Structure 1
Amino acid sequence: MIDFEQIKRKVYRNILEQLPSYLTYHNLAHTEYVMDKAIFLARIEDVSEKELFLLRLAALFHDTGFIENPKNHEEIGCGIARNYLSEDISESDLSKICGMIMATKIPQSPTNQLERIIADADLEYLGTNEFEKQGNKLFDELKHFNPSFSEQAWNELQLTFLEKHEYHTDYCKKFREPKKQANIDSVKEKLDLV
């Protein structure tokens, strides 16, 4: 089996550390956060070591497509993952990795356990105390692409997104959903909807 740390160093050096600074949310720190949360959820879900390895690879590559284009970055990320991994990983495992990367696409529609784990790892922060901080980073990033994007419009977008969002793992349903509801209330307060 290939060495995860070696692949990680290569992807960090060639892609994640090269992402433009205006990507204040979709960056190396976010990738590390998603990898950590994916490992955490995978341990709770009791996945095999091989599945964990594939999950870590999917988390590593899930936003690499931003190096080319924010739109369809998941599809681009699948291509990048295939490019990096095809000599060392079977087509079957590459398909699983791409399935996990695509499971992070909004709206999320994971179809199996590993896809549910990465989908929740990607948006786990919605139900945590990190919500405001991470949200501000995403707002700054979106403003780069649309300088007239207002805080009001951002809060309306966040509220719609939060109300449609669903967690997929039992852990996040139980331990992240209550805080997510509180975060929804805080966004409603900003919009004077309470």
Structure 2
Amino acid sequence: MDCLRAETYVLDQLRQHLSPTLFYHGLHHTLDVTEQALGLAAAEGITGAEDLLVLRTAALYHDAGFLTTYQGHEAAGCALARQVLPGFGYCPAQIERISQLILATQMPQQPGNSHLARILCDADLDYLGRPADFWPISQTLFEELALRGLMPDETAWLELQVRFLSTHHYWTPTATARREAEKQARLAEVKARLAGSE
């Protein structure tokens, strides 16, 4: 596995070809998720070199499907991985593991019992429990959805946020310990904003 070349390839593609209107799902999100995934993996005791490379590659490719489609981007990301990763020395079994991790991030998240999938899912939504940037990040997602006609107004967005935050749970003990309390605080803030807007 030449993870470095696989990483360079996908980051170049994202820099050059992602729509500038992906205010949330831009390159910055992919880099953040990759960083969070590796941090969670360390805290969760993942030490195997292949596991870490598979996780890193999956994080880097998890939203690469946005290069070609908005709806169903996870499947498109898997298709890209299957197309290009053999050229970087990934074997079919490794590519299948990476694809399963990418598919686990589809909403609603379904990581099953896979430790790596649980880590990637938690990394993908790490911001839900981050006090410093929850609001600016959630605003970018609202703007991205609104531009595509997928979110009618801010009230509908706040209602969706309440439903999402109320039903979401982290999958790993580390993410739960690090983020759950702050996520509940953000939920209370969203409910307060919603009450103020009605």
Fold conserved between structures, TM > 0.5: yes
AA at the equivalent of 1:104 = T
Comparing 103-112 with 141-150, which one deviates more in the overlay?
141-150
Name the SS of the counterpart of 1:15 in structure 2: helix
Name the SS of the counterpart of 2:125 in structure 1: helix
TM-score (norm 1): 0.95
Partner of 1:128: 130
Give the paired residue count.
192
AA at the equivalent of 1:50 = E
Residue segments in structure 2 that go unaligned for 5+ positions in a row: none
AA at the equivalent of 2:9 = K
Q: Does structure 2 retain, via aligned residues, the 8 Å contact 1:128–1:179?
A: yes
Coordinate RMSD, CA, aligned: 1.4
Partner of 1:182: 185
How far residue 149 of structure 1 moved from its aligned partner, in angstroms, is: 1.8
After TM superposition, the structure 1 = structure 2 runs for residues 26-175 of structure 1, keeping only pairs within 5 Å, are: 26-47=25-46, 48-87=48-87, 88-111=89-112, 112-129=114-131, 130-146=133-149, 149-175=152-178
Distance 1:187 1:68, change over 3 A: same
How far residue 17 of structure 1 moved from its aligned partner, in angstroms, is: 3.3
How far residue 86 of structure 1 moved from its aligned partner, in angstroms, is: 2.2
Comparing 184-193 with 162-171, which one deviates more in the overlay?
184-193
TM-score (norm 2): 0.93
How far residue 173 of structure 1 moved from its aligned partner, in angstroms, is: 1.1
Give the Cα–Cα distance (whole angstroms) in 2 for the partners of residues 12 and 124 of structure 1.
21
**Percent identity between the aligned chains?**
38
Q: Does structure 2 retain, via aligned residues, the 8 Å contact 1:17–1:28?
A: no
Residue segments in structure 1 that go unaligned for 5+ positions in a row: none
Give the Cα–Cα distance (whole angstroms) in 2 for the partners of residues 171 and 46 of structure 1.
10
Name the SS of the counterpart of 2:105 in structure 1: coil
